[in-house]
Amino acid sequence: METPDTLVAEEIAGVAPEIVSKVLSKTATKLAREVEKVRAYIDRIRGAIESRRGLDTFLIGRAGDYDRLCYASIDSSFTAPAIELVGGYLGIIAVVTVFYGSRCARDSRGGVGAEVFTELWFNRDRVNDFAKYYERSAAVRLLEMKRRGEAYFDVLLVDGEIIPRFLGKAAADPVKKKLVDIAGRMLELADETDTAVVGVLKRSYSRDLVNILGLHDLRLSDRAVMSLVLEPGEYLVVGSYSYLHQELEKLRNMPDVDKNWLNARLEWCEGLLRNIPSGYNVKLAFYRALKTLYPTATKVEYVTSDSLHEDSLLSNLVKISTATGLPAPIDEADRLATATLTKEVRQTAYQKLVAEVAKNVGSSARDILPLLSLTNPEKLGPIL
């Protein structure tokens, strides 16, 4: 006879294979239909892009010769979400700098640098914003060193966007304002030191290009579509964000465009343009690396330098990208940042926090421990 315990055990054991197969079949069919739709449009998409060649935007190019350059790459790893304590949110952030390339021999600092930061917020988790701030701070310090002749690199690579974009009330947030300011300072120093800057956008779900090209019925993202349209070794220069905004504005009177989507994208683009320092031109591109594990396009935004023009910059990004499709320096910085933020580092940071608070308030750790206890004691993994 079955007991309540045996019934629970059977339910927990797993989901019937036929149910999984049915769900997967439905999902696969949905995706396959969309991919087939894009495949049918590939020639049309390339034709629409080629028709804009005289506008100096939406240009498809092929990677040319490889230049010997030095790349400085910055990435971070952090407790995401932050560690929830009774007294607030504890964020531990590791920022890593990697120098990559044959021309980096002149850099006296060596190949890799790592820093760990801790922050505590009382009311909400701010770890993502602070990680971006510490990354951009590291970039500014590197550029200042280059200006003083203490470091050398041709290209600065950062994880994510070059300039932050915030909407509505978020734009007035003091932390986000500081993030915008330091990103602007990064661009100014890059200009002063003849340094190209590239932001590698690992996660992107925008649908701007497919709508601008008139393919409003496609539901895949621009990155997904470019993964099917571009051949290995090719890149697409979309143009500047100011150009993108102009093209989106032209869609206002198009009958097939989703007006809610368009209004949201225009607001997003306007927020970005407000944050770009006057006189700077941030551009957008997609490229396909030569040999990748998955045939996906990489999305980047960039600012060129006087000594490294657009074609050379994108050609070099194609050539130094790895099986992930991402530039090797970013891959390496990401790997090292993850390796830096070990459980031992998190545990040490937490223990030192307890000791420092006890020291500052003149109490024993026992008196303050309730505030530094985990909100959910079952989740001891991050610090034990």
Record the tokens describing residue 37, joined without a space. Answer: 């739709």
Record the tokens describing residue 204, joined without a space. Answer: 């992107």
Count Cβ neighbours within 10 Å for each residue of 287-318 and write b for 16 or more, e otherwise. Answer: bbbeebeeebbbbbbbbbbeebebbbbbbbbb
Report the distance separating Cα 371 and Cα 236, nearest Å. 52
Report the distance separating Cα 23 and Cα 35, nearest Å. 19
Beta bridge partner(s), residue 305 = 308
- On the question of pLDDT at 4 being above 70, the answer is no
- What residue has token string 């869609």? 251
Q: What pLDDT was estimated at residue 374?
A: 76
**7-16, 254-263, 368-377: which is most confident:** 254-263
List helix spans (H) across 257-309: 259-275
Q: What is the longest distance spanned by two Cα atoms in the chain?
A: 81
Name residue 359's amino acid.
Answer: K
Q: What pLDDT was estimated at residue 11?
A: 46
- On the question of pLDDT at 307 being above 90, the answer is yes
Q: Tell me what the mean pLDDT of segment 179-194 comes to.
A: 95
Q: Are strands 71-78 and 155-159 parallel, antiparallel or unpaired?
A: parallel
Helix (H) or strand (E) segment spanning residue 22? helix 17-50
Q: What pLDDT was estimated at residue 97?
A: 95
For 81-115, write each residue's pLDDT tens digit.
Answer: 888 888 888 889 999 999 998 888 654 455 788 88
Q: What pLDDT was estimated at residue 23?
A: 65
The domains found in the chain, sorted by start residue, are 61-340 (3.30.2170), 343-372 (no CATH)
